[in-house]
Amino acid sequence: MTVRAFFQATKVETAQPPYDTINLKILYPARMSGSHVEQDMGIVPADVQQVPFPVVIFFCGVNCEAYIYQWLAEKLAERGLVVVMFNWVAENLPGIVSLTPGVDITAWKPGIYGNVPTASALSALLAKLKQLQSEGILAGLLDLERIIVGGHSAGGRIAIENANPRFFPQVVASFAYAAHSMGATIAGYEAGTILPLPDSLPMLLMGGTRDGVIANSSHRYGISSGDATTAVMRTFREAISSKRNDSYLVLLEGANHFTFANPFDSTTGRAFLDFPETQSSEQFRLLMADIISLFIDAHVRHQPEASEALNKLLNTANPLMKSWERK
């Protein structure tokens, strides 16, 4: 399997310049053709034997460049998915310029949350995908009725909060690592509040027992510090209630907040809050890539063999996994 990528840019109509431009990298399954365009321009056609391609839109963590998630994007593209990663430099918070997954912080406020999307980039990304369906390398090859949203940290929260058919009917599933849905006390929520999530689509939520960023950010939500997994577990157990057997919680023994990032960049973000990993980060990423891929194959592509493989993987004793739940 050959994985190739190309770049695009799009505007966010609700943002003010110069912070209104999103830069995209789109990875796709390709097949070398030997054409002159390929040789001269590096433009490799898609592997049409696998079309139509479901699409994964991935939301990065705050101040995390898209490139640190390319390890996962390549794994997913190898399995016949198109993956959209992006960098957006914007005012994530008033007066603070950063790389952002696209957060509408006003939509997190009591009385507003749940009534409007919290994702400020998603509409623009969906519009760009519609354009790519009509022109260029992927024209006519995308399955725009099967879009999966995923993310890490704040980007993971954006993914699981906006997998909502009321707002984005194209979205059919979500996954996240190191994310939860607790309401910040500074926004007006009572301590320990778990905000509800859309409850009609398959969801995969993952976390690490050594997540120092979550543990050392607990004061934002009015809970005691030092706990790496309670916010993630409570999100799974309290923010959704349906029992369709297509939602999963997986906790990894010894993984930290930035296990999901490779290569790791300590110069931005709040990596200094993290706890040391106690097991191989490479092995964690291989495991997470398998879990995410099988989750998508089972619950988006509806492949019975993938469902069986996912159940077998989760039920097999593995020192990398502390626990898992399904409902």
Nearest-angstrom CA–CA distance, 69 and 17? 27
- What pLDDT sits at residue 38? 66
Residues facing residue 46 across a β-bridge: 30
pLDDT at 195 over 70: yes
Average pLDDT, the chain: 95
Element of type H or E holding 55: strand 53-59
pLDDT at 34 over 90: no
Residue 58 near residue 151 (C-beta atoms within 8 A): yes
pLDDT at 36 over 70: no
- What pLDDT sits at residue 314? 98
- Domain range enclosing 73: 2-326
Assign 121 to helix, strand or coil: coil
Task: Let me know the angle formed at the C-alpha of 58 by 53 and 62, rounded to the nearest 5 degrees.
Answer: 170
* 231-240 residue pLDDT tens: 999 999 999 9
Q: What percent of the chain is predicted at pLDDT more than 90?
A: 87
Rounded average pLDDT over 255-260: 98
Q: What is the CATH number of the domain that holds 190?
A: 3.40.50.1820
Per-residue CA distances from 85 to 8, 9, 187, 197, 207 (Å): 10, 11, 29, 23, 21
Residue 227 near residue 210 (C-beta atoms within 8 A): no
- When pLDDT is cut at 50, 70 and 90, the band that residue 10 belongs to is very high
- When pLDDT is cut at 50, 70 and 90, the band that residue 242 belongs to is confident
Number of domains in the chain: 1
Nearest-angstrom CA–CA distance, 89 and 9? 12
In our burial notation (b when 16+ CB lie closer than 10 A, e otherwise), range 222-259 reads bbeeeebbbbbbbbbeebbeeeeebbbbbbbbbbbbbb
Nearest-angstrom CA–CA distance, 195 and 121? 21
pLDDT at 50 over 90: no
* 111-165 residue pLDDT tens: 999 999 999 999 999 999 999 999 999 999 999 999 999 999 999 999 999 999 9
Residue 3 near residue 27 (C-beta atoms within 8 A): yes
Cβ neighbors of 260 (< 8 A, separation 6 or more) are: 69, 72, 152, 177, 178, 285, 288
pLDDT at 93 over 90: no
- When pLDDT is cut at 50, 70 and 90, the band that residue 223 belongs to is confident
- What pLDDT sits at residue 40? 62
DSSP 68-120: GGHHHHHHHHHTT-EEEEEE-EEEEETTEEEE-S-B-GGGGSTTTBTTB-SBS
* 281-306 residue pLDDT tens: 999 999 999 999 999 999 999 999 99
80 — alpha (psi -120 to 50), left (phi > 0) or beta? left
- When pLDDT is cut at 50, 70 and 90, the band that residue 17 belongs to is very high
Pick from 38-52, 109-123, 243-257: least confident? 38-52
55 — alpha (psi -120 to 50), left (phi > 0) or beta? beta
